[in-house]
Amino acid sequence: MPRHCCDQIKPFLAMDVLAEAHQLERQGHSVIHLEVGQPDFNTPECVKEAAIAALRDNKTGYTPSNGILPLREAIAEYYKEQYKVTLSPERILVTQGTSPGLMMLLAALCDTGDTVITPGPTYACYDSAIRFAGARSLRVPTTEEAGFQLDPDRVRQGLQPDTKAILVNSPSNPGGTLISREDLRELAQIGPTILSDEIYHGLVYEGEATSALEVTEHCCVADGFSKRYAMTGWRLGWIVAPETMIPVLNRLQQNFFICANSVAQWAGIAALKYAAPDVERMRTEYNRRRLVLIKGLTRLGFGVDSSPAGAFYVLANARHIHKDSLELAFDILRKAHVGVAPGIDFGPEAEGYLRFTYANSVENIEEALHRLKKYLERR
């Protein structure tokens, strides 16, 4: 990648907030973390036990680049049970988390200078991954009334001859909203490949998440274990792609990642087969926290007109407090000791907003709301 392209990769601002929060903690301050989507639950016991067994059985060497067959078969079975979609394991490639999977998909889909349609606002790192593939992000503005999800008519208007993919994220980061099955199907009929990031599937509280695989064969899907299984540090994910793309994706995996972590792969099988009760327990608790946070933010005067239905984020309008979300986020951190993510991290469309995560306990969320109340009173 040319040096000038590397220079275009922007910082992930939520991580900058987290870094200063850690610095404050080292100075003795108590900081409540609502800035980063880090589940506060432990990885399910069945997953840890499977990893220990894999270590004891010396399953610690390289695996096939596309992943061990038992895991790919378990992923295929997951799609059959969850979405009534029949997949060949040969269409599945196991990755070191969802982010490397997205990078490989973008590299396989795009030539230099191509465009990828993304919603505005959207997850902070999408634009960087698109640039890394040599392509350009073609931002299509969304509205809060539509849950910050892509509108097919607006996508058609923004379409260019070199558009190779339409990136969909549902449940979404930063808004936690769902795209409707009808809109997803309509997007799939526009032409470019649907690239669907489904990492927050399984964490839905209102409505139902639709996999792109349910509405079209002309799609690529990225998913993984980090969020719903509380396995962020295990770095394990997968991608599903048309069979014609798999040889290219496998070559990319061989050259740049070799394979996903072998022990994590065996643990992933246990997650898919046995951890459903743990996921449901976590989902129920996330929903309880979601309701507490939305009610508390609304009471404090933040705008939450688009209620999150999934993931574990609330994107709240704070323009009446300060229009510069980065400055406001750091001011809240330094004066109230509450970490929040600035809206500008997710694009200019979210400037003036703040993203709060409820991947923290109800007690900590309530304390954060108390600190925010005092902070606002002082302002």
Name the segment(s) of the chain with CATH classification 3.90.1150.10: 3-42+277-378
As a whole number of angstroms, the distance between CA 353 and CA 277 comes to: 35
Structure tokens belonging to residue 71:
């895991």
| CATH fold of the domain at 45-275 | Aspartate Aminotransferase; domain 2 (3.40.640)
H/E stretch holding 138 reads strand 136-141
pLDDT at res. 13 = 87
As a whole number of angstroms, the distance between CA 282 and CA 60 comes to: 30
Of the candidates 182, 171, 116, the residue with the CA atom closest to the CA atom of residue 147: 171
Name the segment(s) of the chain with CATH classification 3.40.640.10: 45-275
As a whole number of angstroms, the distance between CA 276 and CA 41 comes to: 14
pLDDT at res. 196 = 98
pLDDT at res. 305 = 86
As a whole number of angstroms, the distance between CA 113 and CA 134 comes to: 6
Does domain 3-42+277-378 correspond to CATH entry 3.90.1150.10? yes
Q: Please give the average pLDDT of every successive group of 10 residues along the chain, which has 379 residues.
A: 59 88 96 93 98 98 98 98 97 96 97 95 92 94 90 95 97 95 97 97 96 96 97 97 96 96 98 98 97 97 91 96 96 97 94 96 98 95
pLDDT at res. 1 = 46
H/E stretch holding 313 reads strand 313-317
Of the candidates 324, 361, 305, 320, the residue with the CA atom closest to the CA atom of residue 34: 361
As a whole number of angstroms, the distance between CA 23 and CA 28 comes to: 9
As a whole number of angstroms, the distance between CA 87 and CA 69 comes to: 13
Q: Model pTM?
A: 0.93
Angle between helices 362-378 and 276-299 (to 10 degrees): 20
Q: Which residues pair with 239 in a beta bridge?
A: 93, 222
